[in-house]
Amino acid sequence: MGNENNAKTSIDLTKAPEKITNKDLHRSWLRWWYANEIPHTYDRMIAPSFLWGITPILRKLYKDKDDLQEAYLRHTQFYNTQAVWGGGTILGITASLEEARARALAEGKEEEAVSADVINSTKVGLMGPLAGIGDAIDSGTVQYILIAIALPWAQGGSALGALFPWVAFVILTYMYGFYFTKLGYRLGRSAASEIIGGKNIRKIIDGLSVLGLFMMGILAASYVKVSSSLQWSISGKEFVLQDILDSVLPGLLPLATVLGVYFYFSKKGLRITQALVGLSLILGVLAAIGIL
């Protein structure tokens, strides 16, 4: 009886998962970050990228060949999300769930192990909401803030104006993407709640939104050039419409143009081509009759 227990203990030890370290998480994040759009397919989307990213972790967790093969197959199913906010967080959460499953299997507690369905449903359930947040912040806010910062350099003829937004965007997203990976691993499935509803993350999002509004205002005031050439004379006195407008509120015409485009988008949706054509026609007509 004692020999049988010793043998069972020996088998369990050989199947015991290795400890996941910060280095392992960074390696998986780097692989996912690098390859997230490379093996893009219509039937599985970016599932191959996710599998390639998490493979080093799976190899440390599953020492049994069949369990490892099952994990590989599990992560070839359809998967698609935003690379940083969604990809980093879900990568960390999945690593945490896989570790819990691997430990339970090594201890012979198959009924208590996190099921494959739970792992897949967690990935699928989170990939949409987190992708929405990531696209809005990365592509809709951070990217344009960096472009706004670099515009004066580009106008001045400096190559830094073209390079800075790209380099800074890569560095920033890589850094906080890895933070999300560690956060996901540490908190497990509750990490999504922390990102979507957490106070600290909400403060960051609100701060970026306010900064983005400031930057858009600065861009509108600095780079939208609309002025009036209309002038007339009354009783021998010359009146210039632009001088009158400047005395009331400098930059009134650029502001009116930006607000007009904003209200158009609010009513009609983000129809960029129609807005550009309509704005060009309106400004062209006003210029032809001598108002602008």
Residues 147 and 246 reside in one and the same domain: no
Number of neighbouring beta carbons within 10 Å of residue 175 = 10
Residues 233 and 187 reside in one and the same domain: no
Residues 131 and 244 reside in one and the same domain: no
Residues 162 and 239 reside in one and the same domain: no
Q: Taking residues 6-19, what's their average pLDDT?
A: 60
pLDDT of 32 reads 93
The larger pLDDT score, comparing residue 152 to residue 291, is at 152
pLDDT of 188 reads 72
Asked which of 218, 241, 269 is the last residue of a domain, the reply is: 218
Task: Assign 239 to helix, strand or coil.
Answer: strand
Asked which of 186, 218, 250 is the last residue of a domain, the reply is: 218
The larger pLDDT score, comparing residue 133 to residue 48, is at 48
- Is residue 5 pLDDT above 60, yes or no? no
pLDDT of 233 reads 74
Query: Which of 89-98, 112-121, 184-193 reaches the highest mean pLDDT?
Result: 89-98
Residues 120 and 176 reside in one and the same domain: yes
Residues 111 and 136 reside in one and the same domain: yes
Q: % helix / strand / coil in the chain, to the nearest 5?
A: 75, 5, 20
Residues 211 and 254 reside in one and the same domain: no
pLDDT of 209 reads 60
The larger pLDDT score, comparing residue 39 to residue 20, is at 20
Q: What is the pTM of this model?
A: 0.67
Alpha-carbon distance 100 to 114, whole Å? 7
- Is residue 128 pLDDT above 70, yes or no? yes
pLDDT grade for 187, boundaries at 50, 70 and 90? confident
Residues 282 and 166 reside in one and the same domain: no
* Tokens 């759009």 sit on residue: 37
pLDDT grade for 140, boundaries at 50, 70 and 90? confident
pLDDT of 198 reads 54
Residues 233 and 212 reside in one and the same domain: no
Q: Are 33 and 170 in contact (CB under 8 A)?
A: no
Q: Taking residues 36-55, what's their average pLDDT?
A: 87
Give me the amino acid identity at 45: M
- Give the mean pLDDT of the chain: 78
Asked which of 166, 193, 218 is the last residue of a domain, the reply is: 218
Residues 163 and 251 reside in one and the same domain: no
How is residue 36 written in tokens?
Answer: 């997230």
pLDDT of 200 reads 58
pLDDT of 30 reads 94
Residues 40 and 153 reside in one and the same domain: yes
pLDDT of 14 reads 67
Q: Taking residues 145-163, what's their average pLDDT?
A: 83
Q: Are 26 and 178 in contact (CB under 8 A)?
A: yes
Q: Taking residues 90-109, what's their average pLDDT?
A: 87
Q: 117: domain range? A: 2-218
pLDDT of 191 reads 52
- Is residue 237 pLDDT above 90, yes or no? no
The DSSP result for 34-81, as a single string, is HHTTTT-BTTTBTHHHHHHHHHHHHHHH--SHHHHHHHHHHTTS-B--
pLDDT tens-digit map of 192-234: 555 545 555 566 556 656 655 666 666 666 666 777 776 777 7
pLDDT of 10 reads 41
